A and B are shown apart, each in its own frame.
Chain A
Amino acid sequence: MNNKMKLEILSKSENESFARVVVSAFATQLDPTIEEITDIKTAVSEAVTNSIIHGYNKDDEIIHILCEIIDNEIIVEVIDYGMGIENIEQAREPLYTSKPHLERSGMGFTVMESFMDSVTINSVPGVETKVVMKKSIKSIKSY
């Protein structure tokens, strides 16, 4: 199966739940298990929350979410055009957060990495930050 979807949202925290529900609804075409849906929902929530808090820290900027299904794999890209990440290696470290005063746990990227098959981060600070996450859905029906 092949399919695509593109979502544009403002960087409001209300949109965190909206974004993860939309992506998980799109993913249902692959007939995922409840656990796989939870994994996708959680990973999307992490990436979108990061764009809102770290990328922008403002609630009227644009976040793009691109989803593609290729065979039994779902690819989710979360893109913002905010501050960006200077040191990606450090950002990925479990427990690292640049905003400890906000009670951030620093576990966002660790969650994305363990709930999805792969996570790629590309960032040009001040221009564009893109997180690409992939997951194959095991429970695909044989069509």
Chain B
Amino acid sequence: MSDSLTVGILYSRIRRDEKLLLEALRERDHDVRKIDVRKERFDIEKPPEAFEDVDVLIDRCLSTSRSLYITRFAESYGIPIVNSAETAQVCADKAHNSLALKEAGVPTPRTEVAFTKETALEIVESFGYPCVLKPVIGSWGRLMAKIDSRDAAEAIFEHKATLGHYEHKVFYIQEFVEKGGRDIRVVALDGEPVAAMVRSSDHWLTNAAKGAETAEFELDDRALELVKKASDAVGGGLLGVDLMETGDDYTVHEVNHNVEFKALDGVVEENVPARLVDWLEENYAEGEQ
């Protein structure tokens, strides 16, 4: 038996995912403290009262910028946080994410970044059509473009350069992967998969948030190896690893640090939130740190 944990859930919206986690923690009689980050003040000298005596904080902030600061503050206060500031930093930005995967030897789609629309157009022309343009920050498939022609590329870059704020002046361009109409989402704890699903759609975006169909997926040895490597590449923790099938191998397009697991929990046998709680107990109970 593990001791009861005091777990601080940092949030600004309780999604279905947070609710599942809260329920699983309460079921095992852990002391759960919901901390609305919109109401907290973060002093560089000392932690807010809400952080007192917590064994571990879980960053469930929907907002990437909040997440980046909170993880950093928590570490400065010496309070364990899932995930770490380093992980948030890498995963928050698609360019950092791609670099980390590349550096770790994880296959990832060919990607280039440029800072002006003229240079972005050069990249697109050299990649050929179709190719993919993604905002470096953002999620749920929003503002992603599949570029089918030079005309389309020019129009999209013009719009971004004119209308977007500064992050949109970073052009992140990726080869289009023929992924067979689906991609794979794995929820992993320090590189150990909890469960995996495929997300299929006729649309090129197969995010669950975009309404893709989901089904449980059995990971083979190669996929297991890549999930572990991808997790290590961003510092481990509670992660969502996204892979596409390329025919003879996989390519990892990103690792999410604030992973949503409600869709996965809905399709797999495994009780995903219960596994998260097991992992918290193993790693953060008294004397386990």
> Are A and B genuine complex partners?
no
